[in-house]
């Protein structure tokens, strides 16, 4: 499995407050070549986006915290709340978040439930309940199982984390409405497809389902949130 072209990430609490370097998967060109050869829709889509590619820049804690903040609200509202929240701690580190006052977090626009979720997330990182240093050697399902044990993180969020932070190459997020919509539009003339249909389409994408999913997201107008998060 390919690794990002950036330095190996460390636990959030170990990372200094500097603007991180953008990283693109080193497998991207190989994946695109495979997809163009194996799939008629990818053959049409991929050239439309030139050199654009999946990129990641955030640390693990920030990535997951932002996904919690953005749950069940619009993209615009999520951005506003995130900007207010991120201004509260001295740094976006688990230990700093745990020192925040609940009233201040609520005043930033976070619901009581999301405050609980963010605290639980910070505790998992701060107390070493997540095997961050082992993630590179763990398979996707093992990481998903670890992440969904955190309050407020479900399978979809864990899969987005695999794609956008760990940049795993073969994730197929069948719970993602953007993916289902994109497959419906690009492969079935707009007729809404089932998860089974989507899985069958994705057979031709393996072992690069994450890459194909990214291009499916990019084919939609407006872009769904996961693609915007790249």
Q: List pLDDT tens digits, range 174-198.
A: 999 999 999 999 999 999 999 999 9
Using the predicted structure, report yes or no on whether residue 16 has a pLDDT greater than 70. no
pLDDT in tens, 28-53: 999 999 999 999 999 999 999 998 99
C-alpha 170/C-alpha 226 separation (Å) is: 16
**226 vs 63: which has the higher pLDDT:** 63
Sign of CA dihedral 101, 103, 108, 109: positive
pLDDT of the residue at 24: 86
Find the mean pLDDT for residues 80-105: 96
Beta carbons of 129 and 137 less than 8 angstroms apart: no
The length of the chain is 230
C-alpha 213/C-alpha 97 separation (Å) is: 33
Least-confidence region, from 13-22, 106-115, 196-205: 13-22
Least-confidence region, from 13-17, 22-26, 49-53, 226-230: 13-17
C-alpha 61/C-alpha 17 separation (Å) is: 13
pLDDT of the residue at 23: 78
pLDDT of the residue at 222: 64
Give phi and psi for 56, each to the nearest 5: -130, 145
| Residue 8: C-alpha distances to residues 21, 30, 132 (Å) | 11, 21, 11
C-alpha 68/C-alpha 82 separation (Å) is: 10
Percent of residues, the chain, with pLDDT higher than 70: 87
Cis upstream peptide for 20 (omega within 30°): no
Token pair of 208 as six digits = 């690069």
Element (H, E) at 120: helix 112-126
C-alpha 60/C-alpha 165 separation (Å) is: 7
Using the predicted structure, report yes or no on whether residue 4 has a pLDDT greater than 70. no
Find the mean pLDDT for residues 60-80: 90
pLDDT in tens, 100-158: 999 999 999 999 999 999 999 999 999 999 999 999 999 999 999 999 999 999 999 99
């Amino acid at each position: 499995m390919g690794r990002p072209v950036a330095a190996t990430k460390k636990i959030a609490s170990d990372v200094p407050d500097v603007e991180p370097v953008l990283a693109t998967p080193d497998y991207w060109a190989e994946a695109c070549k495979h997809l163009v050869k194996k799939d008629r829709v990818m053959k049409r889509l991929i050239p439309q986006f030139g050199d654009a590619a999946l990129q990641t820049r955030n640390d693990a804690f920030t990535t997951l915290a932002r996904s919690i903040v953005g749950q069940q609200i619009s993209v615009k509202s999520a951005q506003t709340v995130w900007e207010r929240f991120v201004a509260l701690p001295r740094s976006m580190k688990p230990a700093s978040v745990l020192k925040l006052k609940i009233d201040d977090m609520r005043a930033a626009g976070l619901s009581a439930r999301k405050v609980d979720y963010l605290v639980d997330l910070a505790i998992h990182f701060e107390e070493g309940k997540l095997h961050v240093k082992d993630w590179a050697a763990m398979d996707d399902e093992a990481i998903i199982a670890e992440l969904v044990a955190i309050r407020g993180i479900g399978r979809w969020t864990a899969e987005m984390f695999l794609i956008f932070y760990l940049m795993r190459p073969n994730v197929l997020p069948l719970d993602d409405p953007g993916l289902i919509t994109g497959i419906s539009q690009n492969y079935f003339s707009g007729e809404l497809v089932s998860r089974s249909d989507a899985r069958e389409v994705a057979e031709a994408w393996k072992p690069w389902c994450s890459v194909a999913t990214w291009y499916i997201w990019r084919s939609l107008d407006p872009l769904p949130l996961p693609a915007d998060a790249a």
